[in-house]
Copies of this chain bind each other. A is one copy, B any other.
Amino acid sequence: MTPRGRTGPRADRTDARGDILSSARELFSARGFRGTTMRAVAEGAGVDVALVPYYFGNKEGLFAATLELPVDPRAKLDAAFAEGVDGAGVRIARAVVGVFDDETVGPTMIGLVRSAMTDGTAHEAVRDFLVNVIVEGYAIHLDGPDARERAALAAAQIIGLAVARYVLRIEPLASMSVDEVVAYVGPALQRCLDGP
């Protein structure tokens, strides 16, 4: 191995992806989701700016990666709306419960929800993420001048489901089957998507 020169090219770098993630974690924590640019992340990592989209697609994907999210919530939302707004409530409820009930990825998601409730930078970053990715992810599929209001209320319902079933483990909700939860949450969520 050649010792790395102080200002020379980082030819020995083999973990650009890891360096981008470290830089992104630092910047998201310090500046929040909105205040962080892909360019600043690349500069912090000492890599070419083109490598960030190469590895992570876009800023949402990068943030999801820093959270070590095992699923892409925006992609799940897009899939649930692919067949239209009608029935999206049931499809979203099924997707959410499917992810949280999954014994591989569920614990990570539950930990994320819990950490969003605490103060500090994790809280801010997760809130930014919820607003920019989840709320917008709903709103883009809804019509009308109040699309963002309905989107935010729908997000609140899903947060309530996650907190009550998985964090507080309120019975009988915590013990209900996936089909039961979907049967109850789906129509209420649809009511929210459709508006008053």
User: Which A positions have Cβ atoms within 8 angstroms of B?
Assistant: 114, 116-118, 123, 126-127, 130-131, 135, 148-150, 152-153, 155-161, 163-165, 167-173, 176, 180, 183-189, 191-192, 195-196
Contacts and interface: CB of A to CB of B under 8 A. Distances in A.
A176 to B, nearest CB: 6
Contacts of A150: 184
A163 B171 contact: no
Given A117-B163, A118-B118, A159-B164, A170 B188 contact: no
Contacts of A123: 168
Contact of A191 (B148, B168, B188): B188
A173 B153 contact: yes
A188 B192 contact: yes
A78 to B, nearest CB: 20
A84 to B, nearest CB: 19
5 contacts: A127-B169, A131-B170, A135-B170, A156-B165, A187-B191
A47 to B, nearest CB: 33
Given A158-B160, A161-B156, A188-B153, A170 B127 contact: yes
A191 B153 CA distance: 14
A54 B160 CA distance: 36
Contacts of A163: 117, 156, 159-160, 163
B188 A131 contact: no
A131 B173 CA distance: 10
Contact of A148 (B127, B155, B159, B172): B172
A61 to B, nearest CB: 21
Contact of A159 (B127, B155, B168, B169): B168
Given A168-B116, A171-B152, A173-B156, A187 B196 contact: yes
